[in-house]
Homo-oligomer: A and B are copies of this chain.
Amino acid sequence: MGKGKFLGEFEQLVLLAVLRMDGDGYGMSIRREIVGQTGREVSIGAVYATLERLERKGFLASEEGEATPVRGGRARRHFRLQPAGKQALLRSRRMLDSMWDGVDGVGSLEQA
C-alpha cells in the first residue's frame, strides 16, 4: 500500500534539528538541539541510527568535518537537509495540520 513515504516522529525531530542547525549539525549537537528544544530525553544511539537511515533514504547528506575539532575527539560528520528531506518534512506537517484543523477552539480540547 503506502511504500515508505512517511516519516516516523523521531525522524521528523532529527530532520528538523538538522534543518535548524543549517549545515553545522553533527550527531552530538543534533542530540543536544532536540533535548534542548523539546525537553525530550534522547539516547545518542537513537540519533545516529536515525541519521544513517535518513541518509540512506536520501533525506540527508553528510560530509566529514574539519579534522581538528576544538578540543579533541573524532572527526565530526556534518549533516545537511536534502530537497527530498524538506519535502518529506512538509508532507508530514501538512498531514498533521489537516488533522488538527478544526479541532482546536471548538471545545474539544480545553482542560486536557
Provide the bound-state CA to CA distance between A109 and B19, in Å: 9
Task: Check B22 against A108 for contact (C-beta < 8 Å).
Answer: yes
Given A112-B83, A112-B87, CB of A1 within 8 Å of CB of B103: no
Task: Check A103 against B7 for contact (C-beta < 8 Å).
Answer: no
Task: Check B9 against A99 for contact (C-beta < 8 Å).
Answer: no
- Name which of A19, A22, A40, A99 has the most chain B CB atoms within 10 A of its CB: A99
Number of identical monomers bound together in the oligomeric complex: 2
Residue from B43, B96, B98 within 8 A of A96 (CB atoms):
B96
- Contact mask A50-81 → B, CB, 8 Å, 1/0? 00000000000000000000000000000000
CB<8 Å pairs between A and B, sample of 28: A1-B41, A1-B42, A2-B41, A6-B40, A8-B8, A8-B9, A9-B9, A9-B92, A9-B96, A13-B95, A13-B99, A16-B96, A16-B99, A16-B100, A16-B103, A17-B99, A19-B108, A20-B99, A20-B102, A22-B108, A34-B99, A37-B98, A37-B99, A38-B99, A39-B95, A86-B112, A87-B112, A89-B112
